[in-house]
Structure 1
Amino acid sequence: MVKIQQFLTKHRQGLVILMTILLVLAEAARWLGQMSLAYQVIMALTGVIGLLPILLTAISALRVRLVSIDVLVSIAVIGAFVIGEYNEAAIVTWLFMLGEVLEDLTLKKTRSAVKQLTDLAPQTALVVDTDGNTHQEDVDFLDPGAHVLIKTGAQVPVDGTVLTGDALANEASITGEARLVKKEVGDSVYAGTILENGTLTVETTAAGDDTTFGKIIELVEEAQDSQTKTQRFIDRFAQYYTPFVLLVAVVVGLLTRDFRLAITVMVLGCPGALVIGVPASTVAGIGNGARRGILFKGSDVMDRLRQVDTIAFDKTGTLTRGKPTVQTLVVLKGDRQAIIDRAVAIEGQSDHPLARAIAALPTQQPLTATKVETVKGQGIKAEVDGQEYLLGNRALVNAVVGDDAALTRAVDQLVAAGDSLVILASADHQELAVFGIKDQLRPQAAVALHQLKQLGVKRLVMLTGDNTGTAKEIAATLPIDEVHAEMLPQDKARFVADEREGGHRVAFVGDGINDSPALAAADVAIAMGSGMDVAMDVAGLVLVKSALASLLTARRLARRTITNMNENIVIALLTVLLLFIGLFAGYVEMALGMLIHELSILIVILNSMRLIKYSPQN
């Protein structure tokens, strides 16, 4: 039976075409040739062809104790056969089958955004071997470290780092913005992007499903299969609603002794539009976001995002660009270049943005750090040339330097200038220096935060591990309501948890591993694209563009999607209500009612499809 059901499902569109031809022939026999017997036979044949796939689906549903819509239709059609209404059986099954075909076609349209992403997924790469020769290889078989040649006009097949060459890359498939980005030695490139000009040799860091592009596709596909609370409610409602309609039909039949009326109640009571409306909105809304570089990890995230009243931001990499540079170096003890060489060796072991700023400084003597130990929330301890060094905040170096007046003055001056601080101190007290590091605000950050407040967000909070002076300096140019500085990762998580316990709906925006506790504690975890790894694991919403304007777009899109779901629910329930009123008033018969029912399904799908072209910019 399963194979038969699969065959009929696969050829459903062909069956509808065949049934349409038979219906035309039946009507021709009736009106042109006055052949009533031929009319009845053709209608009966059409009804049987249409009933078979519906009945098999109904049997499968009953085997798992689910009274589905197909069960209602099957009983109604069998009842029509019993009372000799072959034309009703044929038209009802044709309309039902036609509705399913149209649903499939329109739902495929709503998934077009994901299909476009999938079609962009690279399949092969031009690999450079140790002799300099090249050969094609499937991307799924590439390992990190493999060298790949990418020519002008070609698609980047892997995530990686540029080894040689320079080029202009179109990163629209990743960021949603079709602008050209300059790529040089040391820059990162992403699978699925396209080289518009130039040639690159790239060292692979990830390939196949492990790439950023692969994770985006996986995330969106999982999200489209997820459910909001509304959808879960609708699914439960349909499970109880269908048996209820059956019971009503039995009661109507017993009271009126009108078998035809009871069968019609079953047909008109099918909650098809109710069941299809919510997932159609989900697919369209998430697909719209995917095209814009906004990845919802489920429609439930949309539901929670629109209710958020408090948004907490990490500072570095979120409100700022996340690429700070060393602006000042105050040397209190020791040789300036020697201090730089040691700091670069130590910070090369860390991925923290401040560490990367120091590691980018030019060195004269390459050194190696050993016995590297990360002190959570404070910095790093390590040995260089047998000497122990501390590199981090004031709390880390206090045990070595104590109450050093010169250090205090330097720190105060740099804090007043709005710099973030990294202090280097040697355990033998012979070297002491302060690095003043400054990051730049993201473009349009102030405008985006103002607009978030206009969209109903009541409080904007900055949570940062940076010093108070720097935090306040940054916040002074932004519409930030609260600033909490010098916070450890667990402090941020505790703040978020406390706010939720206080009745607030909290979103946290971060970009790094250290933000994971706060992301996990929030109602909505939002990760900027620069923190892609943690985003895929912890966050419910990923802003691939790493732009705060994307957060505005995401909130608008979330609101519109949930509104669209509610519109579909209202359309579906009103249709059923009006059909029943028309039925008992004597204006609606089975075939007409089924036509209206199928039209309601198309209406909610078309309503959902409006989300595909929705532009949440205003």
Structure 2
Amino acid sequence: MDITVEPQEGPQLAPTSPWRSVRPALRRYPVLAVTIVVGTVVTVLVLAGQGATARWVASVFALAVAAFQSVGMVRDIIKGRWGIDVLAVTAIVSTVLVGEYIASLIIVLMLSGGAALEDFAAGRATRELTSLLARAPRTAHREDDAGTSSDIAIAAVEVGDVLLVRPSEVVPVDAVLLTGPAMFDESALTGESLPVERATGDSVPSGVLNGPAAVRVRATAREEDSQYSRIIALVREAAGSRAPVVRLADRYAVPFTAAALVLAGVAWYLSGDAARFAEVLVVATPCPLLIAAPVAFLGGMSRAAKTGIIVKGGGILEQLSRVRTAAFDKTGTLTGGKPTLEAIRSTFLEPQEMLALAASAEQYSSHVLAAAVVAEAQARGLELDTTDTATEHATNGVSAVFTGRRVLVGKEAFVAGKAAGVETAVLAAGQMGIYVAVDGKFAGTLIMRDPLRPEAKETLLALRGLGVAETVMLTGDAGATAQFIATEAGITEVQAGLLPEDKVRLLQALPRRLVMMVGDGVNDAPVLAAADVGIAMGARGSTAASESADIVIMVDDLGKVAESVRIGQRTVRIAVESIWIGITLSVALMALAAAGHIPAVAGALAQEAVDLATILNALRALTPGRKRR
């Protein structure tokens, strides 16, 4: 099912006019509209004592709908999906033949209204996803040098533009705040209900809602590179998936159809009354199987979006519910991703000079540690050089040449392979070393520390409570640091010093399936794509990781990993439960109808109640439910 948000055109209809509210719905569902009209005419004819005419009108209309429905049924059979409409068409024809024309009209109403009911339920289930799309800004107010603002298309915003964001407007692109302090509502992105206060110079992500005062911001990204645009793209991608449990519901309809036809035939044979055949089929239509599971999965995806978790498809939720092993990257995933520089150990250079050279090279790396080195150098007021000769060696480090000086920065093995005299740094627990060489000679080590996220231990405990029995760390960092973080977090297995291809190989060899991988960097993209379920920490992570992953967590909270597993398990449980509620109630009604206890008209109305019960149960996937310890 595609999720689209159409711009409303023309004047808004007055809410006080019931007809104006109903008319668009009737135009969207013409068969339903005609059925209501025919039903009204038949009712008037019956009340006027024209029963024969009423029967003729209802029967012709019902048979016409059955013929129309048969066309779609044949198309489904050609596609290998038979059993969906067979019962409905057979029920219409049989009720007409035995004279139960009122029941035939109710069946037609049920079929034509089913599309409207499913759309309503799906719209309710996807309200969080559609609200994200509906909030997407179309224009921005750009200020010129004179301070005059003009409206421009959001696609025309360039990095460095000064934008005016008026009260209760959505911030159009990623920016920094120029006029603080200011309050922003970030609930649409993070699920956090309380407004967030930001000061001058703070970053403001696109998609947040400005508070009661107008503010000025400076754009730090264009529309296509901003966080909210990435979320919109993910939501659109998420909208079209069809979950395995939904396909399973289709397969249930085949034996269900066969069983219903057999039971109806037996009831006819034993009773000698052809009406008994029609009465059984009236309560046997498999609408709950077709509607309940899709609604549950859309509801689960919407529930996840409300908490800052973008799931790219219903099938991902089904996979997520069966995860038994969780693999994690270290830096930026298990750790906070904001390393600090604790010491500079230099050999022949001044510490500040070595830091400036290292930071100049690290500008050309996407690694979290590189960003920390650059930030530290800038905080100390050091001037960084630029070059056109920098090369990033994935997961190992960076090489660059600045005014004739060749600089290497990265792991010990990487630097030792290209420079002489590298000495292994003595590190305390939790520390990590970044090795630096200049002109082929070892220049020293930057001692960094990146502490474990405060929510990491609780997340690992929650995953075990959800049945994820095995946890693994797959990291490119040094073994001692990785082991320290793993022990602190409670991870059972550690694999350190890995290249991206090593991560993929080790993940695929994990014995307890299914396996989910959690990461955030560019180097995690291959293993996220290779995992049964890839989860990207997308709040500060790379676009490559988000594109490769099945799930993107848009808030900087590792606890959302456990929350996503819980949502997946609950969604699948509700979907299967809804299917079996529909089957159980329908079978019970068929048994009563076979025994002659449910007339055709009452049976048609009862089947509508079954549809409603299964849909209401499926919509429970929208709610948070109770957390299990």
Pair in the same fold by TM > 0.5: yes
* Greater per-residue helix proportion: 1
Q: Is the 8 A contact 1:51 1:93 kept in 2?
A: no
Query: Is 1:468 aligned with 2:479?
Result: yes
* The one of 511, 519, 530 aligned to 1:510: 519
1:119 maps to 134
Query: Is 1:434 aligned with 2:445?
Result: yes
2:318 maps to 303
Q: Is the 8 A contact 2:329 2:518 kept in 1?
A: yes
Matched AA of 1:606: L
1:419 maps to 431
* The one of 158, 174, 177 aligned to 1:160: 174
Question: Residues of 2 paired with 1:544 and 1:453: CA distance?
Answer: 23
Query: Is 1:536 aligned with 2:550?
Result: no
How much has 1:417 moved relative to structure 2?
A: 4.3
Query: Is 1:290 aligned with 2:305?
Result: yes
**CA separation of 1:96 and 1:227: change in aligned 2, threshold 3 A:** closer
The Cα offsets for residues 137-183 of structure 1, whole Å up to 9 and x where unpaired, read as 232x3254362513352434433232744444332222222344454
Q: Is the 8 A contact 1:151 1:199 kept in 2?
A: yes
**CA separation of 1:425 and 1:575: change in aligned 2, threshold 3 A:** same
Which deviates the most, 604-613 or 112-121?
A: 112-121
2:408 maps to 390
Q: Aligned to 1:595, what secondary structure does the other structure show?
A: helix
1:566 maps to 576
Q: Is the 8 A contact 1:107 1:605 kept in 2?
A: no
* The one of 377, 387, 408 aligned to 2:395: 377
Give matches, 1:127-142, under 5 Å.
Answer: 127-129=142-144, 133-139=148-154, 141-142=155-156
Question: Residues of 1 paired with 2:547 and 2:407: CA distance?
Answer: 34
Query: Is 1:88 aligned with 2:103?
Result: yes
The Cα offsets for residues 319-364 of structure 1, whole Å up to 9 and x where unpaired, read as 1111112121111111222222212211111221111111111344
Question: Residues of 2 paired with 1:8 and 1:181: CA distance?
Answer: 44
Q: Aligned to 1:371, what secondary structure does the other structure show?
A: coil
Matched AA of 2:561: L
Q: Aligned to 1:344, what secondary structure does the other structure show?
A: helix
Q: Is the 8 A contact 2:304 2:310 kept in 1?
A: yes
Q: Is the 8 A contact 1:464 1:471 kept in 2?
A: yes
Q: Is the 8 A contact 1:277 1:565 kept in 2?
A: yes
Q: Is the 8 A contact 1:535 1:541 kept in 2?
A: no
1:273 maps to 288
Q: Aligned to 1:136, what secondary structure does the other structure show?
A: strand
Query: Is 1:147 aligned with 2:147?
Result: no
Question: Residues of 2 paired with 1:308 and 1:184: CA distance?
Answer: 41
Question: Residues of 1 paired with 2:177 and 2:117: CA distance?
Answer: 51
Paired residues, what number? 595
Q: Is the 8 A contact 2:522 2:542 kept in 1?
A: no
Q: Aligned to 1:159, what secondary structure does the other structure show?
A: coil
1:213 maps to 228
Q: Is the 8 A contact 2:283 2:590 kept in 1?
A: yes
Query: Is 1:556 aligned with 2:566?
Result: yes
Q: Aligned to 2:319, what secondary structure does the other structure show?
A: helix
RMSD: 3.1
Q: Is the 8 A contact 2:94 2:277 kept in 1?
A: no
**CA separation of 1:28 and 1:7: change in aligned 2, threshold 3 A:** closer
Matched AA of 1:203: A
Question: Residues of 1 paired with 2:497 and 2:595: CA distance?
Answer: 72
Query: Is 1:56 aligned with 2:68?
Result: yes
The Cα offsets for residues 274-305 of structure 1, whole Å up to 9 and x where unpaired, read as 12111111111111111111122222222222
Question: Residues of 2 paired with 1:146 and 1:19: CA distance?
Answer: 63
Matched AA of 1:379: G
Which deviates the most, 218-227 or 506-515?
A: 218-227
**CA separation of 1:282 and 1:246: change in aligned 2, threshold 3 A:** same
* The one of 465, 470, 475 aligned to 1:454: 465
Structure 2: unaligned runs, 5 residues or longer: 1-24
Which deviates the most, 173-182 or 345-354?
A: 173-182
Which deviates the most, 166-175 or 17-26?
A: 17-26
Which deviates the most, 311-320 or 330-339?
A: 330-339
Question: Residues of 2 paired with 1:581 and 1:335: CA distance?
Answer: 89
How much has 1:247 moved relative to structure 2?
A: 7.6
How much has 1:605 moved relative to structure 2?
A: 0.4
Structure 1: unaligned runs, 5 residues or longer: 1-5, 30-34
The Cα offsets for residues 215-263 of structure 1, whole Å up to 9 and x where unpaired, read as 3344345434322222222224436755775687678778977543444
1:10 maps to 29
Question: Residues of 2 paired with 1:254 and 1:301: CA distance?
Answer: 47
1:348 maps to 363
Matched AA of 1:10: Y
| TM value normalised by structure 2 | 0.86
* The one of 183, 201, 208 aligned to 2:217: 201
**CA separation of 1:259 and 1:204: change in aligned 2, threshold 3 A:** farther
1:110 maps to 125
Q: Aligned to 1:531, what secondary structure does the other structure show?
A: coil
How much has 1:432 moved relative to structure 2?
A: 0.6
1:32 maps to none
| TM value normalised by structure 1 | 0.87
**CA separation of 1:224 and 1:44: change in aligned 2, threshold 3 A:** farther
Question: Residues of 2 paired with 1:302 and 1:601: CA distance?
Answer: 24
Question: Residues of 1 paired with 2:124 and 2:428: CA distance?
Answer: 56
**CA separation of 1:142 and 1:425: change in aligned 2, threshold 3 A:** same
Matched AA of 1:512: G
Matched AA of 2:391: E
Which deviates the most, 553-562 or 121-130?
A: 121-130
Matched AA of 1:487: L
